[in-house]
A and B are shown apart, each in its own frame.
Chain A
């Protein structure tokens, strides 16, 4: 039987929860107004909740959605997709292209939003499949394979719209990244909740989770057991593609337009960070979806905290990079073993002391 004394440490949710707690304590000491939530009215006269916590819930949504797909990709292929930011630019560009048609400033939308969204889903899934094929069929390391789309993605996004910046004027497009009149909670939060619910049901009632983990832990063994590792890897990239499309809808809806070089910039870093913070092994295998999703919100809490202390958005990556390094160092097997040995020694000494 395993020792239950380290149960809390062993639980994957421990790392993100501890990180969240640290952040919250820091904010509580530095400035308690961080926790203030106020109900106000926006310019259109609709009720709206505002406050840093609401901001975290609002802007963490895209990240949480991406973390779902990224977790699956990480688990199945043992690598990460670094093209998600560029893919969001492509999917967002497709959405605007379908909505606006050839005229970048139409007065009316040229197609229903759902059509635009479905087309974006298709395109994003295709790009996901492209990444998946490079990884699964051609056996290129995931990060290098996705580096191709990372370089070309924003260029392709600009090319789809002829480098113009279409603007959607219809107010109903703003709902997905803003507020529906009458409900004070931002819509992205509900979209994220819906995605989480869907993935929960999928993991609960299908064998996807099991198969993904089996492929990630030992590909050969999985194949000998009748699984198709190539298909499962591609599938995980396609699912990430769908997550990208949803995130792109939220991102473009927030602005009603798109900036190819800025939209979802550095989000791949955050998504990978969310998976790592969730205590999932970045080398693949077992995963815990809840820990990743919680990790995504912790990352957003960190971002919001840094913004609150007037850190420039361009300087943010430097701080996050330090967090990543600390996290990966702590979760490195060699360091873990060292810590485990030290705590074990400490515990046996304590037990000896009690015996005496």
Chain B
């Protein structure tokens, strides 16, 4: 301890992988946000700008939490984006065409999540099929199914739904607008759900026995088995929880966009994976932090906002930006990993 505690480099060396990667993420996010404020004007200083990032990414935050859990356990799930599209379309059809209630649509979203979790979890954990293949099939199934449920995209007209969608939670702080009137910042309901999920998942993964099991299984399956952990059940649970969260995330997404379309949430799985990786979750499993994932989502959307407001507003830049970020952080992880083995 004495040898290591000299100076910052010593402290960094003695950190666990999880904390080191979390530190990198938070630093990157803060630097990026400061950079945005300095170079792109004071717009980024307004509380509402930050709240809008949250509003737009509430669903992504929830999905990313599930994704991080699966990745910590050593798997991956790329079906979450497809599920969001399927849930949006199914719920839109249920509410508008079949006259279903809001509660019924929520149950439907959870039901789809549960069904996905049970099937994918079973295939991955008990039949030992590669999670990527399983969830790739899951993604294509969801996308195809969305078209089968309804082909044309449409907006939900229901008044009860619109009321829920437009519910805003005003915060005690805000900014002065152009007329000099003080305006409270607001967030949508989805953000509250997302924050609750982040906090619950953080507590779950940090301080419960089952939560630690996920790290153990992802870190080393063999030793986890020796410790008496039920590896298969843990893997199954990770996929089940991920899909359930994807179900909730899908509903929050639906609540945000208020329409059903087969092209909804395109690339959401990619964003969720990228957020988790940027947030310090390792693809090899065993390393990760939900708070990091939360910052990962924020970093990703901040850089997207920067790219958009810097004038590169064509749609393709967004894809390239995400890919570059992902590539960068994957290489960082690879270096961190090799640091350990040296």
Could you list which residues of chain A lie within 8 angstroms of chain B, going by C-beta atoms? 79-80, 82, 134, 138-141, 143-145, 147-152, 154-156, 158-159, 163, 266, 269, 272, 276, 282-283, 312, 314-322, 324-325, 328-329, 332-335
**Structural contact, A328 and B133, CB atoms closer than 8 A:** yes
> Chain A at the B interface: mostly helix, strand, loop or mixed?
helix
- Identify which of A321, A322, A334 contacts B128 (C-beta below 8 A): A334
Question: A143-B132, A155-B317 given as contacts; is B127 within 8 A of A317 (CB)?
Answer: no
B221 located at the interface, meaning its Cβ lies under 8 Å from any Cβ of chain A in the complex:
no
**Structural contact, A315 and B283, CB atoms closer than 8 A:** no
**Structural contact, B270 and A163, CB atoms closer than 8 A:** no
CB-CB < 8 A to B132: which residues of A? 79-80, 141, 143
In the assembly, what is the distance between CA of A143 and CA of B77, in Å?
Answer: 12
Name which of B14-22, B143-151, B223-231 contacts chain A: B143-151
- Identify which of A143, A156, A329 contacts B127 (C-beta below 8 A): A329
Q: What is the chain A residue whose CB lies nearest that of B262?
A: A314
Task: List 19 A–B pairs whose Cβ atoms lie within 8 Å, in order of A's numbering.
Answer: A80-B132, A138-B334, A147-B78, A147-B273, A148-B323, A148-B327, A151-B270, A151-B326, A152-B323, A155-B315, A155-B316, A159-B316, A283-B130, A315-B147, A318-B143, A318-B145, A328-B134, A328-B137, A332-B127
Given pairs A139-B337, A151-B270, A315-B147, 9 additional interface contacts (CB within 8 A): A80-B132, A138-B330, A140-B283, A147-B273, A151-B326, A155-B317, A155-B319, A315-B145, A325-B134
- Identify which of B140, B145, B334 contacts A266 (C-beta below 8 A): B140
Could you list which residues of chain B lie within 8 angstroms of chain A, going by C-beta atoms? 76, 78, 123, 126-130, 132-134, 136-141, 143-145, 147-148, 151, 262, 267, 270, 273, 283, 314-320, 322-324, 326-327, 330-331, 334, 337
**Structural contact, A82 and B136, CB atoms closer than 8 A:** yes
- Identify which of B134, B136, B148 contacts A315 (C-beta below 8 A): B148
CB-CB < 8 A to A79: which residues of B? 132
**Structural contact, B145 and A312, CB atoms closer than 8 A:** no
- Identify which of A145, A155, A269, A328 contacts B140 (C-beta below 8 A): A269
- Identify which of B128, B145, B151, B319 contacts A151 (C-beta below 8 A): B319
**Structural contact, B128 and A314, CB atoms closer than 8 A:** no
In the assembly, what is the distance between CA of A150 and CA of B148, in Å?
Answer: 25
In the assembly, what is the distance between CA of A144 and CA of B323, in Å?
Answer: 11
In the assembly, what is the distance between CA of A129 and CA of B219, in Å?
Answer: 30
**Structural contact, B127 and A319, CB atoms closer than 8 A:** no
Q: How far, in Å, is A74 (CB) from chain B's closest CB?
A: 11
In the assembly, what is the distance between CA of A320 and CA of B319, in Å?
Answer: 27
In the assembly, what is the distance between CA of A324 and CA of B143, in Å?
Answer: 15
**Structural contact, A145 and B128, CB atoms closer than 8 A:** no
In the assembly, what is the distance between CA of A332 and CA of B130, in Å?
Answer: 9
**Structural contact, B273 and A318, CB atoms closer than 8 A:** no
In the assembly, what is the distance between CA of A117 and CA of B148, in Å?
Answer: 39
- Identify which of B147, B267, B315 contacts A314 (C-beta below 8 A): B147
CB-CB < 8 A to A150: which residues of B? 270
In the assembly, what is the distance between CA of A322 and CA of B134, in Å?
Answer: 10
In the assembly, what is the distance between CA of A134 and CA of B305, in Å?
Answer: 28
**Structural contact, B334 and A140, CB atoms closer than 8 A:** yes
Q: What is the chain B residue whose CB lies nearest that of A86?
A: B319
In the assembly, what is the distance between CA of A317 and CA of B283, in Å?
Answer: 27
Q: How far, in Å, is A83 (CB) from chain B's closest CB?
A: 10
Q: How far, in Å, is A130 (CB) from chain B's closest CB?
A: 9
Q: Which 9 A-B pairs have the closest CB atoms?
A: A318-B144, A155-B316, A152-B323, A317-B140, A321-B141, A155-B319, A317-B144, A314-B147, A321-B137
